[in-house]
Structure 1
Amino acid sequence: MKKRRGLSFSQRRAMSGFLFCLPFILGFLLMFLVPMLQSIQYAFSSMQLGLDGIMLRFVGLKNFRTALFADPEYVRTIAESVRDMVLQVPVILVFSLFVSLLLNQKFRGRALARAIFFLPVIVVSGIILEILSTDYLSASIMSGQETIGAFRGVGSYEILVAMGMPQKLIDIMIPVVYDIFNLVWSSGVQILMFLAGLQTVPDSMYECARLEGATAWEAFWKITFPLISPMLLMNVVYSVADYFTTSMNPVIRMINQQTSNMKFEYAAGLSWMYLAVVLVLLGAVYWFMNKRIVYVGE
């Protein structure tokens, strides 16, 4: 009898990838597909609540035309969101790369330091996030409120004044503290990805560079940065998508407000147009960066 041959290496890899994606596929089919189709239907309809329930009437592109030409806030809010993304994403990437380079060094407590920087990713889900969102100081800082809401309301501003600290210095320090909080909060996944990329760079390449007399600065730009460029692309795409989908994004808040006002059809139209804008931006970013990425083995 002939022995049955097992799966080849490529088939095992394909099976592992499928099993890895299976929870998302099942979740999408069971919990997301039907609401998504209903959202598309709402976007092209006018909705009324009657005695028999929800009544939909097809209106074509009316909701989209209203958002683009009649609503003065929607286009302006998207433009401001894109502008803020262009300013914030590079800062997040530079900070994440800098921290990952530090955490990749050998020192005592390295595992604890890595866990601390990754902690916001864990905290951002579940009951802990709800507790934070009900805390006035944390909610004010995360939502981007100004000094008067985030600090004066809890007395910190008065404490700094009572300590004799100059007013100008207080006005400089408080926004910096706020920015650091949001920066660390938004960089956990990026730091982890950069760390994974740094650990794939062979030590032999650094040894050869040192033998050739290359400095650490030259080794970073000639070896480290090119070899982790695939992770850079992944982090850029992730950071852009994360910024556009966070609950603190002004467009997301605008859509949630329309939903709270029971304007489900208009909120659906806003959502699908917003999705189109995000996909176009992500496609442009990927197209621009993918040509400059160094893939090992190619």
Structure 2
Amino acid sequence: MAKKPVKVKKQLAHKRTLGSVISFERRRTLEGWCFSAPWLIGFLIFTLVPLILSVRISFYITQLTDLYGFEGQSKWVGFENYMDIIQDPSVGEAMVNSFLNALWQVPIIVFFALFVAVLLKQKFPGRVYFRVIFFIPVILAGVIMSYLFNDGVGSISVFGSIVGSASGGFFGTLTQYIGNIMWSSSVEILIFLAALQSVPDILYEVVEIDGATAWESFWHVTLPYISPFVILNCVYALVDSFVKYDNPIMSMMQSMTETGTKYGMASALSWMYMLITLITILIFILLTRRWLR
């Protein structure tokens, strides 16, 4: 008779423990949703809703005052906007220029980012400050950086113009190109720096025992190990090149919306451009799969 209360106490203790575990898991889940809620709300309001509206607008000839109601002068035209984009020779020319810009920008940005990341990995006085300097463009808003590079207005553009006037124009253009590359390679530098720090030191010790030089260690150890990050940075730089403010297609879409009467064509062009970008990235990934370790 004396053992029954002990069993009852054990069962109650087990139930309390199970209940506390469940409540803890529920609390953690609730905390996770609370932390995710601001991003989810922002995604729904500022990304998903505009995407849905953009799809709908692409099938209309829409005026500026009719973007949300689709009343008044808005007119359903089906795929006419898409056909006009395909038949417009200026769109094809802008598309070719976009790919040509990406063709020379992406290798330079990736190479520059890898070179700077290798330097920043070394131990030297003030290394932290140099890392901050190269990461400043990511911290600053894109609008601020675009203003700095704005022709004739931005400080970097003005500085380049002054240098160009004093040197015949070459160094001014070179200054703007260097500033543009530094701005575009900040994220890539950070990714490469994290990749370089993830390479095990034992691999360098092994090749050093075999008598490998620093260049041989980089070529046969570092580069193969960080090859996935090279592909990642190439894709990131490619996408960044396609959506930059000075991209020919982006400039064309902006000029269409400035008139207030071609929102349908701008939306159709944006969706076609996104599809072409996705296909380009997919082809690039398929072609570079064999270089992944």
TM-score range, shorter chain: 0.7 to 0.9
On the 8 A contact 1:137/1:151 being kept in 2, the answer is no
Asked if 1:206 corresponds to 2:209, the answer is no
Deviations 1:16-68 (A, max 9, x none): 99998765443221222122111111111222568995443322211111111
| Candidates 98, 117, 120, aligned match of 1:103 | 120
Amino acid across the alignment from 1:257: S
Query: Using a 3 Å threshold, how does the CA distance of structure 1 residues 62 and 215 change in structure 2: closer, same or farther?
Result: same
Point out the more displaced range, 285-294 or 85-94: 285-294
Structure 2 CA distance, aligned partners of 1:22 and 1:199? 33
SS in structure 2 of the partner of residue 108 of structure 1: coil
Structure 1 counterpart of 2:60: 45
SS in structure 1 of the partner of residue 245 of structure 2: coil
Structure 1 counterpart of 2:148: 132
Asked if 1:30 corresponds to 2:45, the answer is yes
Q: What percentage of aligned pairs have identical amino acids?
A: 34
Structure 2 counterpart of 1:146: none
- Return 5+ residue gaps in structure 1 as ranges: 8-13, 142-148, 162-169
CA RMSD, 1 decimal: 3.1
- Return 5+ residue gaps in structure 2 as ranges: 1-13, 23-28
Point out the more displaced range, 16-25 or 233-242: 16-25
Asked if 1:57 corresponds to 2:56, the answer is no
Cα displacement (A) at 1:215: 1.2
Structure 2 counterpart of 1:273: 272
On the 8 A contact 2:164/2:170 being kept in 1, the answer is no
Aligned counterparts, 1:218-257, within 5 A: 218-257=216-255
Give the structure-2-normalised TM-score: 0.81
Amino acid across the alignment from 2:131: R
Point out the more displaced range, 41-50 or 81-90: 41-50
Query: Using a 3 Å threshold, how does the CA distance of structure 1 residues 66 and 150 change in structure 2: closer, same or farther?
Result: farther
Cα displacement (A) at 1:196: 0.4
Cα displacement (A) at 1:221: 1.4
| Candidates 255, 258, 261, aligned match of 1:260 | 258
Query: Using a 3 Å threshold, how does the CA distance of structure 1 residues 283 and 31 change in structure 2: closer, same or farther?
Result: same
Cα displacement (A) at 1:156: 4.2
SS in structure 2 of the partner of residue 136 of structure 1: coil
Amino acid across the alignment from 1:225: L
Aligned counterparts, 1:170-189, within 5 A: 170-189=168-187
Matched positions, count: 268
Cα displacement (A) at 1:135: 8.2
Structure 2 counterpart of 1:282: 281
Structure 2 counterpart of 1:145: none
On the 8 A contact 1:47/1:54 being kept in 2, the answer is no
Structure 2 CA distance, aligned partners of 1:46 and 1:240? 32
Query: Using a 3 Å threshold, how does the CA distance of structure 1 residues 24 and 230 change in structure 2: closer, same or farther?
Result: farther
Cα displacement (A) at 1:107: 0.8
Structure 1 CA distance, aligned partners of 2:257 and 2:131? 39
**Which structure carries more helix by proportion?**
2
State the structure with more CA Rg: 2
Cα displacement (A) at 1:217: 1.2
Give the structure-1-normalised TM-score: 0.79
Cα displacement (A) at 1:181: 1.1
Cα displacement (A) at 1:172: 3.6
Deviations 1:196-249 (A, max 9, x none): 000000111101110111111111111101111121121111111111111121
